[in-house]
Homo-oligomer: A and B are copies of this chain.
Amino acid sequence: MTDSNAPRTFVLTLGCPDRTGIVAAISGFIAEIGGWITEAAYHSDATSGWFFTRQAVRADSVQLPIDEIRARFAAVAAELGPATDWRLTDTGETKSVVLLVSKDSHCLTDLLSRAERGELPAQISAVVGNHLDLEPLTTRFGVPFHHVSFPAGDPDGKTAAFEQLRQIVDTHAPEAIVLARFMQILPPDLCAAWQGRAINIHHSFLPSFIGARPYHQAFDRGVKLIGATCHYVTADLDAGPIIEQDVGRISHEQTPTDMVRQGRDIETLVLSRGVRWHLEDRVLVHGRKTVVFA
């Protein structure tokens, strides 16, 4: 359901310890199989001594099936060392996304609309809410809505609810689990199970204003810009690898209520960019940080 004008491509992402000859090895391999490179990005991180690349190759330029390419490339990767982390995906294979929501509709509407008009290279398979408020909006877009209740002050009930959530989500084997203003904190086991796939939007310019009511914190501090942060979820609250951030200017005239409204537009854009880049395999995680080949 992605942009039908975009030609089908194979996307290779790779991270490995840096040394000379890596680009030659990879591009030599691609040339050998006749691959026409349409996008290529590289990054050498001097601090960590790590090398990163993303390459997009027109699928119609290569005669081999993707599994064969993967098998052959494994040998190239092996030469780059045992720590090498790589992946080869096919934009022709539909990816699945599951959204987690609570009561705020702005990110949900935006992602459903983008998916519907082909801006996201994925299908939204399901929406799970801990409230029923967003069921009507979701079903209008023809997407199934699941309600999971999280009983306040009942640890066992919460544990059961998260287990139920996990089962619904895992059914779809999603490429991304997007916390689109989902107001429950994922337990460590879910953070671990969904590592590198669970994406959150926090409504502040992290690391400022971690936790609850960040716009009220921003108002109290008197900052002149407010922001939003899209990041991978980790067990360490609001501290996962950052994918994207943006800010908007405010002044003394904005109340916290005004900031909430203005902030919605920033959150919406930042989350949509982060999710799209993730789905297009543009985000490579290394430790607490990301390389984003946007």
Residues of A at the B interface (CB closer than 8 Å) are: 3, 5-6, 20-21, 23-25, 27-28, 30-31, 34-47, 52, 61, 105-106, 109, 113, 116-117, 119, 140, 205-209, 219-225, 227, 241-242, 244-247, 251-253, 255, 257, 261, 265, 269, 288-292, 294
Contacts and interface: CB of A to CB of B under 8 A. Distances in A.
Nearest to A256: B47
A42 to B, nearest CB: 4
Number of copies: 4
B207 A224 contact: no
Contacts of A27: 23-24, 27-28
Contacts of A223: 206-207, 242, 245
B265 A269 contact: yes
Contacts of A105: 113, 116-117
24 contacts: A5-B257, A20-B34, A20-B61, A23-B37, A24-B24, A24-B27, A25-B31, A28-B28, A37-B44, A39-B42, A39-B44, A43-B252, A45-B252, A105-B117, A109-B113, A140-B140, A206-B208, A207-B208, A207-B209, A222-B241, A222-B242, A222-B288, A252-B290, A265-B269
A263 to B, nearest CB: 12
A7 to B, nearest CB: 10
A209 B208 CA distance: 9
A139 to B, nearest CB: 10
